[in-house]
Amino acid sequence: MTAEEWMAVRLSLEVATRSVLVSLVPAVGVAWLLARGRFPGRMLLDALVHLPLVVPPVVVGWGLLMLFGVRGPIGAPLHDWFGIRLVFTTEGAALATAVMSFPLIVRAVRLGLEGVDPGLEAAARTLGAGPVDRFVTVTLPLMSPGILAGAVTAFAAGLGEFGAVITFASNIPGETQTLPLAIYSATQTPGGETVAARLALVSFSLAMAGLLLAEVIARHMGRLLGRAG
Amino acid sequence: MIDVALRHRFGRGGFCLDAAFAAPEAGVTALFGPSGCGKSTILGAVAGLLRPQAGRVAIGGEVLLDTAARICLPPERRRCGVVFQDARLFPHLSVDSNLRYGLRRAPRDAPGPAFEEVVALLGIAPLLARRPAGLSGGERQRVALGRALLSRPRLLLMDEPLAALDAARRAEVLPFLARLRDRAGLPILYVTHALDEVDALADHLVLLDGGRVLAAGPVEALMARTDLPLLAGRRDAGVLLPCAVTGTEGDLIMLEFDGGTLVTTAHPGPPGTRLRVRVRARDVAVATEAPRGLSTRNILPVTLTAIAEAGEAGEVFLRLAAGPTTLLARVTRDSVSRLGLRPGQPVWALIKAVTFDHRAAGDATGEPPAWQGRRDGPY
C-alpha cells in the first residue's frame, strides 16, 4: 500500500475514534432520558436522535454545513470567538461521523440500560446510596456492556461514513479523505481499480474486526456481571 | 413504637390499602396474610420505595413519612435495611463488596455489629471472594441479610425472604434469621404468608387481608383466638405454647409450660432449652372422665371455658384452660351434645401430637440453636 493509502486508513481510524469519544457521554445521557425520563417531548427527542438513520447522509452533511459553516448559527461564533473551523477539517469529519453513528450508540446504550434491574437500584437506595452514587456504582457498571457494544459498533460504522463526511468536510487527502472517500476517489481515477480493491479489503477487515471485538467484549462483560454468556 | 398508617389506592377502582398498626421497637413483628393482602406494599412504603397517597411512618417518634406535614424522606435517608425476596445482590460486585456497600454509606456513629461479626454470624466467610452468580439461593439470601444488617439500619424490613427458596434452602436460612434476630437487637418487620415462619420468628403479629388490618398483637394471643378465619380456618390452627425442656425420661422429653407438662419424643435440646411449640386444635381431643388404657401420653386436666364456632358446619372450637394457658380443641358439634359439654366443666385434654415449628439445628459454628437464650421474647 502507498503512503497515501495508509494515510486514509489512519485517518479513518482517527475520525472514527474521535467520533465515538465525542458522542459517548451525550449518548449515555440521551439514552437515560429516553429509557427513564418522563417528560413532554420525549417522543420528539427519540425521533430526532434516530433521524440520521433514515435521512440521506448527504442531507445530514448539508444540515451540518448550514449549522456549523463559518457563517452558520453555531459555526460563526465558534469561528469568530474561538477560531475553530469545522468545515473541511478532520474535526469536522469526526463531527459528521459522530452525528451519523449517534443513534447506533444510543440504541445500544438504551438496550443496556433497560437490561438493568431497577430492583438493584432500589436495593442501593435502601443501602444509603443517593442518585449520583447509585448511578455510578450500580447502574453504570451494569449497563457498561451496552455502552461498550454501542461504542464498538459506532466505531466500526464510523470507519465507513461517506455521505455526511464528503458533504460537510469534503474530500481532502490527509485531512478528511477517510477510507470510503479514498475508495470513491480511486474508482473515479483511471486505473485505480486495484487501489480501490485493496482499500475495500482493508475496510471490510476493520469492520469485521470491530464487530468481532464487540462480541468478545460483550461475552466477557456478561461473565463479569454474572450472566450466562 | 414503630407507627405505620397508610392509605393508597392503585389506579381507579384498583386495590386499596388502608392499614394502620403499631409495632414494638424490639423483636420481630410479622405482617401475615394471603398473597395480595398488601403486606409487601406496606413494607415498600416503610422503606420509602413506594409513596402512598396518604400516611405516616415513624420509628420511635422520628418521622420518616408524613403526607399531612409534607415529609417524605427518600429511602437512602431512612436507614431501613431491606431484605428482598430475590436477594438483589449486585452481580458486578464480590460478596465482600456487596456486604460493604451499605456499611460504607452508613453514618459513622451508627451502632451495629462489626463486619467480621456479621460474617461469622451468618457463616459466609468462605463466600467473601465469590460473585453472587456462583452462590446458591440460600447463600445469596444470607449475604443479603448481612448486607442489610451492615448498613447499620434502625429497622430491618424483610419481604418474604424465604419465599423464593425450596424447603431445604429454607431450613438452611431460617436458623440464621433467628440468630440475626437474637443478636442484632433491631426491630424487624417481617412479611410472610408462611405460618411456620411466624411460629419460628415472630413476637408480634399483624394480620392482614384485603389491604386492611384484621388484628394485631402478641403472636400467642392471636393464635389462641377463634374469631380470625385467617388463622382459625387453617388445618394447622392451634395455640403456640412457650415451653422449656425440663428433663428426660428414657426416650421422652418433658416440656414444661405455664399450666402443665407435655411429653414428646422429639429432641429439641438439653434441659433448659426454651422453645415454642404449636399444639394444633385438631390434635387435641377431650374426655369427661380420666381416660385409661390409652396410647396417648399427654392427658391434661383442664377446664372447658368456652365453645366457639369453627366456621365449618358441624365443628366447634373448645377453649380449654390449663392454668393460665389456653388450649384449643377442635371437635364435632355432635361430640359436644353427646358428652353434654358446657363451659365451666372440668375435662381431660388429650394431646395427640406436638409440632415443633422451629427446629433450629445446631450449625457448623457450634453456636447454640437460635431459640436458646432468647433475650427479649414475650416470655
Q: Which of B339, B346, B343 lies closest to B323, judged by CA?
A: B346
Could you tell me if B272 and B335 are in contact, meaning their C-beta atoms sit under 8 angstroms apart?
no
pLDDT in tens, A23-57: 999 999 999 999 988 889 899 999 999 999 999 99
Domain assignment present for B379:
no
B76 and B184, same domain (yes or no):
yes
Pairing assessment for the beta strands B252-257 and B28-32 based on DSSP bridges? unpaired
In the structure, what pLDDT confidence band is assigned to residue B113 with cuts at 50, 70 and 90?
Answer: confident
Apex A19 CA angle, A17 and A22, nearest 5: 110
For position B378, what pLDDT does the model report?
Answer: 34
Check whether B254 has a pLDDT greater than 80. Answer: yes
Structural domain containing residue B268: 238-351
Q: d(Cα B115, Cα B152) in Å, to the nearest integer?
A: 11
Shortest distance between the Cα of A35 and any Cα of chain B, in A, equals 20
End-to-end CA distance of chain B: 19
Q: In the prediction, which pLDDT does B356 show?
A: 63
Question: Chain A contact for B133, CB < 8 A?
Answer: yes
Same domain, B37 and B157: yes
Supply the pLDDT for residue A130: 93
Does position B313 have pLDDT exceeding 80, yes or no?
A: no
At B189-227, the pLDDT tens digits run 999 988 888 988 899 999 999 889 999 999 988 998 888
The answer to whether residue B364 sits within a structural domain is no
Q: What is the largest CA-CA distance in chain B?
A: 70
**Residue B167 pLDDT grade (very low, low, confident, very high; cuts 50, 70, 90):** confident
- A166: enclosing H helix or E strand: helix A163-168
> pLDDT tens digits for A76-91?
999 889 988 888 999 9
- The pLDDT assigned to B78 comes to 93
Q: What is the b/e burial string over B32-59, where b = at least 16 CB atoms within 10 angstroms of the residue's CB?
A: bbeeebbbbbbbbbbbbbbebeebbbbb
Q: Which three cell numbers stand for residue B13?
A: 377502582
Distance CA B140, CA B130 (A): 11
Look at residue A38 in the predicted model and tell me its pLDDT.
Answer: 86
Distance CA B332, CA B341 (A): 11
Q: Show which of B177, B196, B223 is a domain's final residue.
A: B223
Look up the CATH number of the domain holding residue B301: 2.40.50.100
B366 within some domain: no
Hey, what's the cell of B63?
418521622
CA distance A84 to A76: 9
Whether chain A has a CB inside 8 Å of the CB on B112: the answer is: no
Q: What's the pLDDT score for residue B317?
A: 92
Query: What span, in angstroms and rounded, lies between the C-alpha atoms of B83 and A112?
Result: 26
Instruction: Please check whether residue B361 lies inside any domain of the structure.
Output: no
**Cell numbers placing B7:** 392509605
Q: Do B202 and B341 belong to one domain?
A: no
Whether residue B210 lies within 8 A of chain A, CB to CB, comes out as: no
Q: Which of residues 46-75 of A touch B (CB under 8 A)?
A: none
B59 and B119 together in one domain: yes
Mutate to test the interface with B, among A117, A121, A127 (most CBs of B within 10 A): A127
**Rounded CA Rg of chain A:** 20
Looking at the fold, whether B256 and B165 belong to one and the same domain comes out as: no
A117 touches chain B (CB under 8 A): yes
Tell me the C-alpha distance between A79 and A23, whole Å.
22
List the one residue out of B62, B235, B82 whose CA is nearest residue B153. Answer: B82
Query: Both B214 and B274 in a single domain?
Result: no
B330 in any annotated domain: yes
Residue type at position B260: G
- Cell numbers of B349, please? 385434654
Q: Taking the C-alpha atoms of A13, A16, A22 and A23 in order, what is their torsion angle to the nearest 10 degrees? A: -150
Check residue B266 and give its pLDDT: 77
Same domain, B251 and B144: no
Query: What's residue B374's pLDDT?
Result: 34
Same domain flag for B200 and B244: no
Residue ranges with strand state E in chain B: 2-9, 16-23, 28-32, 54-59, 62-66, 71-72, 80-83, 155-159, 188-192, 204-209, 212-218, 238-249, 252-257, 260-264, 274-280, 284-287, 298-309, 315-322, 325-332, 346-351
3-state secondary structure at position B129: coil
> What letter represents residue A75's amino acid?
G
In CATH, what number is assigned to the domain containing residue B164?
A: 3.40.50.300
In order, the DSSP letters of A55-105 are S-HHHHHHHHHHHHSTTSTTHHHHHHHH----TTSHHHHHHHHHHHHHHHH
Phi, psi of B146 (to 5 degrees): -65, -40
Neighbour count for residue B82 (Cβ, 10 Å): 30
Sheet holding B346-351, edge to edge: B284-287, B346-351, B298-309, B315-322, B325-332
CB-based contact B5:B66 (threshold 8 Å)? no
Exposed, middle or buried by CB within 10 Å (0-12, 13-18, 19+), for A145?
buried
Question: Along chain A (229 residues), what's the average pLDDT of each consecutive run of 10 residues?
Answer: 88 94 94 90 92 93 92 90 89 94 94 92 95 94 90 90 91 89 91 90 89 82 62
* B235: enclosing H helix or E strand: none
Provide the percentage of residues in chain A whose pLDDT is more than 90.
Answer: 63
Whether residue A80 lies within 8 A of chain B, CB to CB, comes out as no
pLDDT band at B369 (very low <50, low <70, confident <90, very high): very low
Nearest CA-CA distance, residue B136 and chain A, Å: 13
Phi (first) and psi of residue B178, to 5 degrees: -65, -40
For B14-44, write each residue's pLDDT tens digit.
Answer: 888 999 999 998 889 999 998 888 888 999 9
Helix axes B137-150, B167-184, angle to 10 degrees: 20
- What cell numbers appear for B152 in the block? 447499620
Same domain, B197 and B248: no
B184: CB partners within 8 A, 6+ apart: B112, B113, B149, B156
Flag whether pLDDT at B96 surpasses 50: yes
Q: Does B76 touch chain A (CB under 8 A)?
A: yes
Kindly indicate the confidence band of residue B376, based on its pLDDT and cuts at 50, 70 and 90. Answer: very low
In a domain, B7, yes or no: yes
User: Is the Cβ pair B88, A122 closer than 8 Å?
Assistant: yes
* Arithmetic mean of pLDDT, B254-273: 84
Which residue from A127, A133, A225 is facing B92, i.e. has the nearest CB?
Answer: A225
Instruction: Work out the pLDDT band at B140, boundaries 50, 70, 90.
Output: very high
CA distance A72 to B216: 72
3-state SS track over B284-328:
EEEECCCCCCCCCCEEEEEEEEEEEECCCCCEEEEEEEECCEEEE
Residues B177 and B218 in one domain: yes
Contact B206, B231 (CB under 8 A): no
pLDDT score, position B233: 82
Interface membership of A130 toward B (CB under 8 Å): yes
pLDDT score of B91 more than 50: yes
Q: Are residues B205 and B253 in the same domain?
A: no
* Dist. CA B94–CA B24, nearest whole Å: 36
Domains detected in chain A: 3-224 (1.10.3720.10)
Q: How confident is the model at residue B357 (pLDDT cuts 50, 70, 90)?
A: low
Instruction: Look at residue B230 in the predicted model and tell me its pLDDT.
Output: 83
Q: A211 to chain B nearest CA, in Å?
A: 24
The residue among B199, B223, B247 that closes a domain is B223
For residue B293, pLDDT beyond 80: yes
Do residues B249 and B176 both lie within one domain?
no
CB-neighbour burial class of residue B306 (10 A; exposed 0-12, middle 13-18, buried 19+): middle
Q: Residue A99: which of A133, A134, A157, A52 has the closest Cα? A: A52
Specify if B85 maps to a domain. Answer: yes
Residue B357 resides in a domain: no
A126 contacts in chain B (CB < 8 Å): 47-49, 75-76, 78, 80-82, 148, 151
Return the closest-CA partner of residue B286 out of B278, B276, B296: B296
Interface of B with A in 273-292 (CB under 8 A): none
Count of the separate structural domains present in chain B: 2
Q: What is the CA radius of gyration of chain B?
A: 23
Nearest CA in chain B to A143: B92
Residue B101 has pLDDT above 80, yes or no: yes
